[in-house]
Structure 1
Amino acid sequence: MHMLYNSSSFVVVQFEVQVDEPRPGELLKANPELQLHRGGFEIVDKFARKEIFIEGALAQQFQDGVEALIEQDPSEEDLDDFIEHYARMGHQPVVMH
């Protein structure tokens, strides 16, 4: 778990999950891109008090968009606007235990 972003509006945390590799086989040795890689991003909207966990293709799209935005030296407002598009999909309420 790695906190990537924390503003007055949003928190973005990256999760990288280690997946035990299946028994080595010729197919996996020849094609390492077929091995399992898990992880994703948790986005918390502080004002709406909702969160979403994105993974797979959506997480890759999010990461690519953030990297492209970072190259433009964005303001906090620019980053919040970008993150808001993903945060709107969040329906899970944030609950304190």
Structure 2
Amino acid sequence: MPKVRSRLKDHVEAKSREFGFEITQTQLAQALQVRQATVSAWMSDEPIDRIDVTVLAKMAKYFGVSLWDMLEVEEDPEKETRSTPNAA
């Protein structure tokens, strides 16, 4: 099964450079009206096991990007290996 990871950390770093100061998880949580734990989970490098589309939409709007720009889909390399025909 493909793994879905958040690109929130990338967007926070880019926006922080643009603003000239660091955006904290607490500030972002307040701006998005979500819990700080939600922001923390999305900034993690771990795959996301559940996606709240409302939160995803708030994040995308805040950063001025599409919903898909907030996510990175990592295909399952094992599946790709199994589906690749063996050379004879």
Higher relative contact order (CA 8 A, sep 6+): 2
Higher-strand-fraction structure: 1
Higher-helix-fraction structure: 2
Q: TM-score, normalised by structure 2?
A: 0.28
Q: TM-score, normalised by structure 1?
A: 0.26
